[in-house]
């Protein structure tokens, strides 16, 4: 068996299908890794509260990467191991940009999903992650203390917004796409790749002993940092171009992670 100590998994579009389900075969494959002494680690843009039902279904105890690396949580007791929040001044500027453009903006604060307007996008997003949001006015918060933003709109409309954020606030903020319509904003220096390195320090291993699966550009730092980075067939086309066929797993709709793991580890 190849020397692997940990396997990192994105959720939506990787372990989780488009109908938000996770199959018994995926659960069994993840648990089989754990039985073999390989730590299965969730690495997602979701909040810990939103990923917890899936973690419970998987039945794993490894550390969890939430908010695209802005938070790492102990998988055994749910205690926060690391947490990075967005800078206050730049957060106010992101709010101003979204208001000027009238683009839907949501944020996470102390595990709670918040936004200023109830729109189609808010309903779609809440249904996607199966968590309720809360209407607020950002101006009513004297201290924002936000973990991350998401701006939701068509990809071509968000591209210049990403450029604007990185050009003007790149020293303090990181902005990337987790989905073609989701522009996520976290503190600078935060991504899944950095979180993988931190988790491996906690587990007493190195990134040379890791593999990872993902489907979005928020997964790219993780896929590049591990020894074996695998992109899903249903991943973003621009992302898939960066990986050879042997580093591509079948679609999440076909439980592609299971197929790839079975071939990689020569499971019967």
pLDDT in tens, 181-225: 999 999 999 999 999 999 999 999 999 999 999 999 999 999 999
* Integer CA distances (angstroms), 13 to 128, 166, 203, 251, 267, in order: 11, 26, 26, 8, 23
User: Residue written as tokens 């489907």?
Assistant: 215
**Domain range holding 153?**
88-187
Q: Does residue 1 sit within a domain?
A: no
Final residue of a structural domain among 148, 164, 187: 187
Of 113, 30, 25, 29, the closest CA to residue 67 belongs to: 113
Q: What is the pLDDT of residue 1?
A: 45
The tokens of 40 are what?
Answer: 């299965």
- Domain check: are 70 and 110 in the same one? no
What confidence category does residue 65 fall into, taking pLDDT thresholds of 50, 70 and 90? very high
| Local structure of residue 37 (DSSP, 8 states) | T
On whether both 128 and 74 belong to a single domain, the answer is: no
Domain boundary among 165, 187, 209: 187
The span from the CA of 69 to the CA of 89, in Å, is: 21
Tell me, what's the pLDDT at 178? 87
pLDDT of residue 3: 86
Domains of the chain: total: 2
Cβ-proximal residues to 173 (8 Å cutoff; 6+ apart), any chain: 86, 87, 90, 94, 165, 166, 185, 186, 187, 188
């Amino acid at each position: 068996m190849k020397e692997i100590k940990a396997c990192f998994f994105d959720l939506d579009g990787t372990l989780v299908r488009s109908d938000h389900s996770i199959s018994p075969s995926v659960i069994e494959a993840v648990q089989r890794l754990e039985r073999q002494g390989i730590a299965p680690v969730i690495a997602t843009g979701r909040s810990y509260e939103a990923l917890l039902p899936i973690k419970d279904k998987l039945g794993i105890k490894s550390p969890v990467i939430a908010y695209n690396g802005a938070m790492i949580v102990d998988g055994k007791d749910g205690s926060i191991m690391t947490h990075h929040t967005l800078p206050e001044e730049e957060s106010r500027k992101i709010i101003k940009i979204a208001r000027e453009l009238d683009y839907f903006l949501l944020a996470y604060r102390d595990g709670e999903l918040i936004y200023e307007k109830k729109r189609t996008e808010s309903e779609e997003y809440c249904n996607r992650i199966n968590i309720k949001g809360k209407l607020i006015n950002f101006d009513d918060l004297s201290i924002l203390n936000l973990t991350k933003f998401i701006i939701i709109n068509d990809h071509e409309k968000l591209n210049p917004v990403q450029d604007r954020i990185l050009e003007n606030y790149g020293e303090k903020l990181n902005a990337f796409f987790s989905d073609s319509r989701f522009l996520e904003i976290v503190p600078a220096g935060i991504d899944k790749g950095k979180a993988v390195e931190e988790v491996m320090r906690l587990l007493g291993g190195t990134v040379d002993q890791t593999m990872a699966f993902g489907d979005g550009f928020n997964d790219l730092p993780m896929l590049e940092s591990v020894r074996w980075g695998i992109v899903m067939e249903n991943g973003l086309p621009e992302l898939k171009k960066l990986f050879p066929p042997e580093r591509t797993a079948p679609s999440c709709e076909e439980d592609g992670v299971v197929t790839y793991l079975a071939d990689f580890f020569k499971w019967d």
